[in-house]
Amino acid sequence: MIQVVVKTLKGEPESFDVDAQSSVGDLQQEIHMRLGYPAEHQMLLLGRRPLTDHAATLESAGIKDCSCVTLLSTVRVFSGHPADALDEYDRLMRQFVQDMICMQHADERSDPTSHAKATEKNIEPVVAKVFEHYDKNCDGKLDGQEAMQFLLDFATQQTSFMVFMCKCMLQEQAKGNDQLGYTKPEESIAMSEAAANTQLEKYEANKHELNMDVFKAIARTDDHGPEMLSLEDLLRIMMDLESSDYCLCSQSHGSGFREHQSPKQ
| Residue 254 near residue 202 (C-beta atoms within 8 A) | yes
Domain ranges of the chain: 2-72, 82-247
H or E stretch covering 70? strand 68-72
pLDDT per residue over 207-243, tens digit each? 888 888 877 776 554 543 457 889 988 988 888 665 4
Q: β-strands 2-7, 43-46: how paired?
A: unpaired
Find the mean pLDDT for residues 142-155: 90
At the top level of CATH, the class of 2-72 is alpha beta
In the three-class reduction of DSSP (H, G, I as helix; E, B as strand; rest coil), residue 68 is classed as strand
Please tell me the predicted confidence (pLDDT) of residue 125. 93
Confidence band for 204, pLDDT divided at 50, 70 and 90: confident
In the three-class reduction of DSSP (H, G, I as helix; E, B as strand; rest coil), residue 255 is classed as coil
Contacts of 234 (CB under 8 A, 6+ apart): 127, 130, 131, 142, 150
SS (H, E, C) 122-141: HHHHHHHHHHHHHCCCCCCC
pLDDT per residue over 38-60, tens digit each? 788 889 999 989 999 999 999 99
Q: Give the global pTM.
A: 0.61
pLDDT per residue over 114-137, tens digit each? 888 888 888 999 999 999 999 999
Contacts of 168 (CB under 8 A, 6+ apart): 97, 98, 101
Confidence band for 92, pLDDT divided at 50, 70 and 90: confident
Please tell me the predicted confidence (pLDDT) of residue 58. 96
| Residue 26 near residue 18 (C-beta atoms within 8 A) | yes
Poorest-pLDDT segment among 47-56, 165-174, 191-200: 165-174
